[in-house]
Structure 1
Amino acid sequence: MTLADELGSVCPVRDAGADDAVDGVLPQVVARPASTEETSALLRACSGRGLAVVVRGNGSKLSWGSPPERVDVVLETGAMDALVEHSRGDLVATAGAGMPLARLQQQVGEAGHQLVVDDLAAGSTLGGLVATNLAGPRRMWVGAPRDLVLGMRLVRADGTVAKAGGKVVKNVAGYDLSKLLTGSFGTLAVVTEVTVRLHPVPPASHWVGGAVPSDRLPGVLAALVASQLVPHAVEVHATPGADPSVVALVSGTEAGAAARAEALRAELGPGASVEAAPPAWWGHLPGRRDGLDTDGLDAAGAAASPPARTVLLKTTSRLSGIPALVEVATAHGATVTGSAGTGVLWAALPARTPQEVADAVDAVRRTSVDLGGSTVVLEAGPQARSAVDTWGPVPAVDLMRRVKDEFDPTRILAPGRFVGGL
């Protein structure tokens, strides 16, 4: 009897193919549970057999972090994609982990609501958002996804079903497991259902900014972040050899947003403009719209030669350090996009030799650490990854290891994918 046959009594299971590999590691089967109960039964079966499980939503971020040590079962969440509840009066929604963000936004948008997150990776599911805590430009307004998750249903590695948080904003007592699991890359439990806080869609939005000479960047960013006109996002985009662009988002009532946008344009001076739509790079990870496709294709879809993956970094610093971090990253050939209002940048390095990649990563990481932040290599090809330290120094790794031991003592959930080989 095959593994697919053994697990097939629990939920739909098929044999894995080459397209199911997790960052180069090929699983045996792909399982598709349609409920928390089926997920629980599947994990009980996997735990009893010592099978390693990696969760997959749309797969847009499955190559982030470190490759797993082993994968036996890929657990797809796509069948758990329903909008379970939308409490319009409370501005709260509950949906399955496999719900695509675009569809969630469409459904809650019918009531004039939104989940204030930006789908940087394009095609993310709600569960994938939670797993990576992926935040875009509007994090400056409402915080990261970790701040918007109110509760969740989850299944532990042994199949135990648990709940964390609740369905109202003030409902946290004791340990906040929702925050603990958000950003854990699926290494602690399988999230099957998520409750999130919503916000009203503003009647009007304007994008204000333009190109800024590098020597003016520190002053411009500092003024925007501290502005009493209260922009909801302040983004910077820079490519090697060119002046960076700075654009701020202003939202509110029709009259109020327009007036604030015009006042902000006047503060920024000549060259600034007010637009009704964001620039093409807004809300997207760099490299995917700059001819540096992460799957080794150029902007026209032709295969790169030799096939190679763009190296994607997440690098952070204190707010005042963003100009210096942009300067160092672009000096090493990176295209940079990110939030000057929260101190989080995404940098895409073009395919180069492993040593050149290592030198660039080391330079960016040294700068970010000196500026109170950190640098993580989210995505890279096998050769580049072998030359760099994916996570960099992690002061709390011993504590994180104890948490992993508590939640997943047999190490069957994405073993080795997270910080310190967790």
Structure 2
Amino acid sequence: MAAAADSTGATEITRRLAAICGPSFARRAGAADEVAGRVARWVAVPGGAEAAAEVLRLAARHDLTVVPRGAGTKIDWGMSPGRVDILLDTGRLAGIDHHPAGSPVADIGAGTPLRAVQATLERTGRRLPLDPPSPGATLGGVLAANEAGPLRHRHGTACEQLVGLRWLAADGELVGAGVGPARLSAGAAPVGLDVGRLLCGSQGGLGVLVSATVRVQAVPASRIWVCRPVWTPLELPDLIRTLLAARLDPAAVELDLPTTGVSPHREESARAAARANHPSMAGRRVGPVRRGAGTLAVLLEGGPADVAERADRLVALFEGEATVDNAAPWWWRRYPFGPGDTALRVEVPTTDLHAAVYALRDAAGGPVPVRGSAGLGVVHAALPATMPEERVGAALAAVRGVLLARRGRCVVVAAPPGIRRAVDVWGETAIPRLRAAKDHLDPHRRLAPGRLPGGL
């Protein structure tokens, strides 16, 4: 497909992109303009939906591929695309449409940073109930990765916040889903929101997000975090079951298991020692007494009196072995992996979360950091950057074998290029459904080809 562009000439493509986006917003790509290790040829920053559509139409005429980019916070997630001709930067597809005070929805441009969204909404006492860990992420980037933070426990994923969506198909057609005619731009073709939600998690492989209509809510008057030490993963099933059965309506239930944790035997010994040192622990608010213990943190939101009453009930439920704070623990909304690590996402029923943790430890040959939404059984983990490719592949196979029997799954979120090429990133995935969506929305494979499972 690149031959058509070569015959036209790279300089001519650059000139046409500049005519569409403006001279300052189109250029040849540099070494930093890459997607999961694949360097682009051009960067285009269209100033609106129509300009973005023109970029896509230009790409279609010259058989060029297009990959959307927001803030780039998750540009290295998933598989490398087969080729990146045009990196379509959504930074100018930004803005927040004004709604009457108290409106339950907001229209937000895909390129708008979530920080800006929250700051704007807070001025009217509202918030978007999304708190993904990626600093600086745009709304479009969060939707494209279907990224979620702790508030997912009560409010669901980014996709579940959608009331409407506008995106550009591979041929440049503007499509609107789930919104009334008054909110669709002229010429937008309306479809059902179920179709629009297919774009969530598609990493730009099914369409270019333009804007979204999302639910907003009043900012809670009070927020309290109740944290309890976790001495061994074996505690998790009973802890979580008891917590959820208590009907305390938590906004989030998060787990942090650091690599400094000790063996289950030593963890249990430390816990027994703590109880011996504090015989009247029941009803008291006692923090973790041993370095290296994990933490289960519960966020309670609502009116001050109501939140305080639920916090007291939770401390009693934890037999006094807890701390109460108005600030989140330092690790809240942070992934347990860093640059160069092999980052994993594990999804498993909460009753089997401990089995997943032990499977990860066994496969890695030692403790690995695990963090995430314990109340939903969705956590992230990190295999060290020094682990060889063959060991990563063997570890993934072992963990997936344990999870398969428990209706769980493990995917590689991000990894060094060599490991990404050597291992099965996705594991078991519903390829036929994805293939049907790709065939329908991008039949010529122009949008981020190869980013979806199965090389779609």
How far 1:110 sits from its partner (Å)?
1.0
- Rounded to whole Å, the distance in 2 between the matches of 1:347 and 1:87 is 42
- Greater shift, 357-366 or 25-34, is seen at 357-366
- Rounded to whole Å, the distance in 1 between the matches of 2:416 and 2:71 is 20
Contact 1:87 1:93 in 2 (8 A): no
The residue aligned with 2:276 is: none
The residue aligned with 2:281 is: none
- Match of 1:391, SS state, is coil
Q: 1:167 to 1:280 in 2, by over 3 A?
A: farther
How is 1:338-377 mapped onto 2 (pairs within 5 angstroms)? Answer: 338-351=372-385, 352-377=387-412
Of residues 414, 419, 430, the one that matches 1:379 is 414
Establish whether residue 10 from structure 1 lines up as the match of residue 24 from structure 2: no
* TM-score normalised per structure 2: 0.84
- Match of 1:205, SS state, is strand
The AA in structure 2 aligned to 1:266 is A
- Rounded to whole Å, the distance in 2 between the matches of 1:16 and 1:144 is 33
Contact 1:140 1:232 in 2 (8 A): yes
Q: 1:27 to 1:85 in 2, by over 3 A?
A: same
How is 1:197-212 mapped onto 2 (pairs within 5 angstroms)? Answer: 197-212=215-230
Note the alpha carbon deviations across 1:106-154, whole angstroms, 9 max, x for none: 1011111111111212111000011011111111111111110111111
The residue aligned with 1:303 is: none
- Rounded to whole Å, the distance in 1 between the matches of 2:357 and 2:295 is 11
- Rounded to whole Å, the distance in 1 between the matches of 2:133 and 2:388 is 27
- Rounded to whole Å, the distance in 2 between the matches of 1:264 and 1:341 is 15
Of residues 245, 252, 255, the one that matches 1:236 is 255
Contact 2:113 2:138 in 1 (8 A): yes
Note the alpha carbon deviations across 1:2-29, whole angstroms, 9 max, x for none: 1211322111311110010112211111
- Rounded to whole Å, the distance in 1 between the matches of 2:58 and 2:347 is 40
Contact 1:127 1:191 in 2 (8 A): yes
The AA in structure 2 aligned to 1:338 is G
The residue aligned with 1:156 is: 169
Contact 2:79 2:452 in 1 (8 A): yes
- Rounded to whole Å, the distance in 2 between the matches of 1:225 and 1:70 is 46
How is 1:4-403 mapped onto 2 (pairs within 5 angstroms)? Answer: 4-11=14-21, 12-166=25-179, 174=192, 176-214=194-232, 215-240=234-259, 241-242=261-262, 243-287=293-337, 293-294=338-339, 309-331=340-362, 332=364, 333-351=367-385, 352-394=387-429, 396-403=430-437
The AA in structure 2 aligned to 1:285 is Y
How far 1:175 sits from its partner (Å)?
5.7
Q: Specify the structure having the higher radius of gyration (Cα).
A: 2
Note the alpha carbon deviations across 1:224-247, whole angstroms, 9 max, x for none: 122222211111111233432111
CA RMSD, 1 decimal: 1.8
- Match of 1:366, SS state, is helix
The AA in structure 1 aligned to 2:173 is T
Contact 1:83 1:95 in 2 (8 A): yes
List alignment gaps of at least 5 residues for structure 2.
1-8, 182-189, 263-292
- Greater shift, 71-80 or 217-226, is seen at 217-226
The number of aligned residues is 400
Q: 1:270 to 1:328 in 2, by over 3 A?
A: farther
- Rounded to whole Å, the distance in 2 between the matches of 1:87 and 1:128 is 27
Contact 1:207 1:277 in 2 (8 A): yes
Note the alpha carbon deviations across 1:73-126, whole angstroms, 9 max, x for none: 000000111112334333111111000001101101111111111121211100
The AA in structure 2 aligned to 1:180 is L
- Match of 2:213, SS state, is strand
The AA in structure 1 aligned to 2:255 is V
- Rounded to whole Å, the distance in 2 between the matches of 1:414 and 1:114 is 32
Runs of at least 4 residues off by over 6 Å? none
* TM-score normalised per structure 1: 0.91
Contact 2:236 2:353 in 1 (8 A): no
- Rounded to whole Å, the distance in 2 between the matches of 1:149 and 1:313 is 26
List alignment gaps of at least 5 residues for structure 1.
288-292, 295-308
When you count helix as a share of all residues, which structure comes out higher? 2
How far 1:405 sits from its partner (Å)?
1.1
